[in-house]
Structure 1
Amino acid sequence: MKKLFSGLGTLLKWTVGVVFLLVIVAYLAGVFEQKIEPGQIEQGSVEEDACDQVAEPILVSEPRIEQIPGTIAAKHETTISSRILATIEQVLVRAGDVVDSGSPLVILDSRELETRELQAEEALAASQAQLKEAETEFARSQNLFDQGTIPKSRYDTAESGYRVAQANVERAKQNLEEVRVSQTYARIESPISGRVIDRLAEPGDTASPGVPLLRLYDPSDLRLEAYVRESLASQINRGEEIQVRVETLNKTFEGKVEEIVPQADPGSRSLLVKIALPETEGLYPGMFGRVLIQTGTEERLYV
């Protein structure tokens, strides 16, 4: 029995040794390596080629842009004030409101004007009555003077009184007309179609001639004003189209150079350039913008 087990152990050892030897031979022969079919390319090679192609540098010519800061401004801005001294009854608009030309803005207390009109009418009626009396006296004096019954001094007095009465009537008519015109000033209307910037007065305030009540601007006529250094301003021409960037709106506009003020600022050595902008919702005076000016081209290397 012991001999039997000893023989089986020896056989098993030989079998394991042979199998191990065959595995080594197969590995050396490349049996366990990945095979590539004819016509196929190894994946690693393709990826390396692709990486080589992407990494190739490219030289690109691009415009060189200089950005000049500026401020949006209204070309036409109007200050509304009263022509007469009166109490404000109503202010019909607020900041931000859009108005048409001729729209009522402010209503003033017109009671004093109405009283003045009544007084002017009474003064005119009185002067006309005096003129009628003076005319009658002058006509009578002229007849008596022609007949030689009164001296020339009396005739001259009657004539002078008649001329004065005529002048008084004309003066009374003019005064009445002025009062009636003043009554129209109690209703302040918008001289332009635009938008209200500021409301500077409230009902109950006293409106005085020349004191601002409202400020308006025309939103269809905005422009960007920027100070451009002398050397760069010399490259800009009036009427030229130029780009303007407003970051708040995230928009770039095609503007048109409207004016180049022919006087340099001695401190900054720059010229004021005004660029007209298209009407745009959300674009207001005072906003920040940039003028984009191409100063040439530059080469850039991209990988």
Structure 2
Amino acid sequence: MRLTTRYWGAMSAFIALGVLLGSFSGLFNTQVEPQFRAKSAVYSGEQYLVTTTEVTPEDFVSASLVAKENTLVSSRVLAQLHTLEVRAGQLVKKGQLLATLEDTQLRASMEEIRAQSRANEAQLSQAQKQLSRSEALLSKGLVANNQMDEWQSKVDELKARRAALTEQLSGAQAALNYTRLHAPLSGVVVERLQEPGSMLSPGVPIVEIFNPASLQVSGAVRSSLAGQLKVGDTLQVELKALSTSVMGTISEIVPVADSLARQFEIKLDIVPPKGSKPGMYAQISLPSKPLKRVVIPQLYVKRTGQLTMVYVVEQGIKQRRLVRLGQSLGENVVVVSGLAAGEALAIATTSS
């Protein structure tokens, strides 16, 4: 009886262990048959075989319009700005009055010099008369030689003072002329840099003027491209702000490169279109060699937001593939990556 109890206890333990192991192994779980996707239909529509074509890549240089004839009109004397006759955007002619400076002190100084000159002339005239009388008396032995020398020195001193005063008067007259500022060239006023009442020192700019008929395009090109360019070459320049393009002739290549950017500055002369102004953004098209590139028609490209994709036919099945596009060539476009020559494309549709 005791043996039978032990036997059945051992059997129960084995059975419980077996059930536990079966639960862990998923023996009692319901089996789910795998689901298979339906096979895609074979594409039988029109296909396009991808090939490579020689394409001249676009190589642009960012540039800007600059004034070839540009000047700052500055004060040449220490004085207060009295009047400013022009405003920004105004057309001016060469020699036109732009501004006047306060000249009261300069005029007073010039009058003082003139008064000193008149006094000096009076003294010089008296000294010359006395010298002449002394010469006459010296011939008769009525005056000593040293007295004659004194009057001669007096005359020489007054003549030297006359020369000094003449120079001072010329300087004062020139300074007075500097109080009236005239346009050094015909052009357009860019900016008023001072306002009436400002105290000016020599060299302080008052207005900026540029000649709108002598604009240039200035840009920096890589050192590897600068060696292919020379003065006299003609390049296309696009002015996006004016929605137009013009041809420019290289007039200058700065021979010193930017040591950090490894670039050379080039300047092109252009016939500026109407509305051109210094500082406008421009793009210079640089010459480049044709390269083999994958080119496909635009109609095979599908755009979704910022993504561009094509439908590639592989083993008869149409599949989407993302691609990166490059230069647009009218009805065609260059594919930078994602597609290779020899592959077949299906036409992209909105329902695909």
Normalising by the residue count of structure 1, what TM-score does the alignment of the two structures yield? 0.76
Structure 1 stretch 272-281 or stretch 242-251: which is displaced more? 272-281
Cα distance in 1 for residues equivalent to 2:273 and 2:141 = 86
Give me the identity figure in percent: 29
Find the counterpart in structure 1 of residue 325 from structure 2: none
Find the counterpart in structure 2 of residue 143 from structure 1: 136
Cα distance in 2 for residues equivalent to 1:135 and 1:174 = 22
Cα distance in 1 for residues equivalent to 2:188 and 2:210 = 6
Q: Equivalent residue of 1:181, what SS?
A: helix
Are 1:162 and 2:155 counterparts?
yes
Structure 1 stretch 267-276 or stretch 252-261: which is displaced more? 267-276
Which residue identity lines up with residue 224 of structure 2 in the other structure?
S
Find the counterpart in structure 1 of residue 79 from structure 2: 86
Cα distance in 2 for residues equivalent to 1:199 and 1:191 = 16
Are 1:293 and 2:264 counterparts?
no
- The structure with the largest helix share of the pair is 1
Q: Equivalent residue of 1:282, what SS?
A: coil
Which residue identity lines up with residue 85 of structure 1 in the other structure?
L
Find the counterpart in structure 1 of residue 222 from structure 2: 229
Are 1:265 and 2:258 counterparts?
yes
- For the aligned residue pairs, the C-alpha RMSD in angstroms reads 2.3
Cα distance in 1 for residues equivalent to 2:89 and 2:291 = 45
Q: Is the 8 A contact 1:145 1:152 kept in 2?
A: yes
Find the counterpart in structure 2 of residue 10 from structure 1: none
Number of equivalences:
252
Alignment partner of 1:255 out of 248, 251, 262: 248
Which structure 2 residues correspond to residues 109-258 of structure 1 after superposition, within 5 A? 109-258=102-251
How far off its partner does 1:299 sit? 5.3
How far off its partner does 1:150 sit? 2.1
Find the counterpart in structure 1 of residue 10 from structure 2: none
Find the counterpart in structure 2 of residue 107 from structure 1: 100
Cα distance in 2 for residues equivalent to 1:131 and 1:120 = 16
Find the counterpart in structure 2 of residue 45 from structure 1: none
CA shift digits 1:5-49 (9 cap, x unpaired): xxxxxxxxxxxxxxxxxxxxxxxxxxxxxxxxxxxxxxxxxxxxx
Q: Equivalent residue of 1:105, what SS?
A: strand
How far off its partner does 1:57 sit? 8.1
Are 1:73 and 2:66 counterparts?
yes
Runs of 4+ deviating beyond 4 Å: 54-62
Cα distance in 2 for residues equivalent to 1:177 and 1:235 = 56
Which residue identity lines up with residue 287 of structure 1 in the other structure?
M
Cα distance in 1 for residues equivalent to 2:204 and 2:188 = 20
Cα distance in 1 for residues equivalent to 2:273 and 2:125 = 66
How far off its partner does 1:273 sit? 0.9
Normalising by the residue count of structure 2, what TM-score does the alignment of the two structures yield? 0.66
Cα distance in 1 for residues equivalent to 2:260 and 2:180 = 47
Q: Which has the larger radius of gyration?
A: 1
Cα distance in 2 for residues equivalent to 1:146 and 1:282 = 85
How far off its partner does 1:298 sit? 4.0
Q: Equivalent residue of 1:248, what SS?
A: helix
Find the counterpart in structure 1 of residue 345 from structure 2: none
Q: Is the 8 A contact 1:75 1:223 kept in 2?
A: yes
CA shift digits 1:229-277 (9 cap, x unpaired): 1111111110111111121111111001011111222211121111112
Cα distance in 2 for residues equivalent to 1:62 and 1:145 = 106
Q: Is the 8 A contact 1:127 1:168 kept in 2?
A: yes
Structure 1 segments unaligned to the other structure (5+ residues): 1-50
Q: Equivalent residue of 1:296, what SS?
A: coil
